[in-house]
């Protein structure tokens, strides 16, 4: 077995974000990933529900734009060659888990690949709402969360990732994500209690 030393990364205690310039992005908290009966269930996704709820409640109280991404596939999607069939549009597995159901004014982004910007109107929606800061939560850390965070950073958004509000499949995946967000994308790592909207 190979042993890998985790490179340094930084976690801040608190970050204040202007509500009118911020959005909360909840990535793929769908039944197939975040419910025990889901086709690609990630056990750690259950642990992040409450931290996400904390941020979500503060976001709603401060009129922060709330965006849900939904991994969305049609039958015979080529991605099924990698992961098997999952989140087929209209199925139970495709739906957001009950604990985090969207509300009427929330934005839903149906994404067809790991990156929530790829082939979607996400960038347009953020820009017309004058969003500069993205608080990114959800599952899975080194796949859809990281691809979305990286894509956001490359478009000039400030990314904030609460480490207790993203789920990983393995410990390696978790620390890889922390390192990439901190080092490569110059994002901010914090915890759910450290995200403050003003």
Written as six digits, the tokens of 41 are: 């269930």
Whether pLDDT at 195 is above 90 = yes
Written as six digits, the tokens of 45 are: 């996704």
So where are the chain's domains?
A: 15-197
| Confidence tier at 2 by pLDDT (50, 70, 90) | confident
Q: What is the mean pLDDT of residues 112-124?
A: 97
Contact between residue 59 and residue 51 where contact means Cβ atoms under 8 Å apart: no
Whether pLDDT at 6 is above 90 = no
Query: DSSP characters for the chain?
Result: ----PPPP--B-S-EEE-GGGEEEEEE--BHHHHSTTSTT--GGGGTTHHHHHHHHHHHHHTT-EEEEEEE-B-TT-TTHHHH-S--BTTSGGGSBPGGG---TT-EEEEESSSSTTTTSSHHHHHHHTT--EEEEEEE-IIIIIHHHHHHHHHTT-EEEEEGGGEE-SSHHHHHHHHHIIIIIS--EEE-GGGEEE-
Q: What is the mean pLDDT of residues 115-131?
A: 98
Q: What is the pTM (predicted TM-score) of this model?
A: 0.96
| Confidence tier at 33 by pLDDT (50, 70, 90) | very high
pLDDT, residue 131, reads 98
pLDDT, residue 119, reads 96
| Confidence tier at 182 by pLDDT (50, 70, 90) | very high
Cross-strand partners of 23: 65, 134
CATH architecture of 15-197: 3-Layer(aba) Sandwich (3.40)
Whether pLDDT at 3 is above 90 = no
């Amino acid at each position: 077995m190979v042993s890998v030393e985790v490179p340094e990364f930084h976690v801040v205690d608190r970050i204040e974000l202007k509500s009118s310039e911020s959005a909360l992005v909840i990535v793929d908290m769908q039944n197939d990933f975040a419910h025990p009966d889901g086709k690609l269930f990630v056990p750690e996704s259950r642990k992040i529900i409450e931290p996400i709820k904390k941020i979500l409640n503060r976001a709603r109280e401060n009129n922060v734009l709330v965006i849900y991404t939904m991994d969305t596939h049609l039958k015979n999607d080529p991605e099924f060659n990698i992961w098997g069939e999952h989140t087929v549009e209209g199925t139970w597995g495709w739906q957001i888990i009950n604990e985090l159901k969207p509300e009427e004014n929330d934005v839903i982004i149906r994404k067809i690949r790991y990156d929530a910007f790829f082939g979607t109107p996400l960038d347009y929606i953020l820009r017309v709402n004058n969003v500069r800061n993205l608080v990114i939560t959800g599952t899975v850390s080194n796949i859809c969360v990281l691809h979305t965070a990286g894509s956001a950073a490359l478009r000039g958004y400030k990314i904030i990732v609460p480490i207790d509000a993203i789920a990983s499949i393995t410990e390696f995946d978790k620390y890889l994500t922390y390192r990439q967000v901190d080092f490569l994308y110059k994002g901010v790592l914090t915890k759910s209690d450290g995200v403050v909207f003003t």
